[in-house]
Each structure stands twice: as C-alpha cells, then as structure tokens.
Structure 1
Amino acid sequence: MPIEEKIKNLGISWPEQLPQPIANYETVRRSGNLLFLSGAGPPASLFMNELQELADRMGVLI
C-alpha cells in the first residue's frame, strides 16, 4: 500500500497552505568576537575544505 494511501486511511491531511512565520529568525548573531548559532547547520552544498576556509577567515578552530 502506498504511503499516501496509508496517510489518507489514518485521516491525516496536510494543510493546503503553510502558515507564515510570525517572526524573523536569525541563525547567527555576532557579539564582539563570539558567534551565537541557533541550531542551523551549514548548507549541504558546502564541502569540508570550504568550511575550513570559512572557519579560518572567522578565526574558528574545527
């Protein structure tokens, strides 16, 4: 049985339109020489050498 059919049989439905965010969410905030990260990882398109280059420019050890 396809997953779509199982979901329909359980009475589960997706909303027609997703609700709009109620605030602007920042993934990074800098305060002095500190970066505060809010649970967001790097984009999947970045490779380790690109991450290392970014970390070097920011003065972060990874």
Structure 2
Amino acid sequence: MGDTKRGRERKGQKKREQRIRQEIDETLDADDEPPVSDAESPEVTETDLENVSVVTGKDEEEAA
C-alpha cells in the first residue's frame, strides 16, 4: 500500500494525541511540592517601602 496524505494526517493526529496524553500524565504525576533551592534565602529584617506605590480601584478610575 502506498503512502497517502490521509494516512500521514492520521499518523500526525495520533502523535499529537500521544504527546497531549504524555504531557497530562507528566503533569498529574508531578510532585505537589515545588523544588527546593540549595541557595540560601536572604535574611529580611526590615521592609523597604520607599519605592512602592499602592494603586486602588479609585485611582484607576481617575486615570481612565
């Protein structure tokens, strides 16, 4: 039997389905815990809010 366009399309569809199933299985089998970094976390003793701005819904309405 010769190579047909329809056959190639079906094979491509099958591959896509297999890849989607594989991705779903990998996602479901993944750990719920995030990976732990070996780097030490920096110690935060004071919060620096000098360069932080807070925007409220009221401020957004005025800007529009």
Same fold (TM over 0.5): no
Structure of greater relative contact order (alpha carbons < 8 Å, 6+ residues apart): 1
**Structure 2 length normalisation: TM-score?**
0.24
Asked which structure has the greater CA Rg, the reply is 2
**Structure 1 length normalisation: TM-score?**
0.24
Higher fraction of helix: 2
Higher fraction of strand: 1
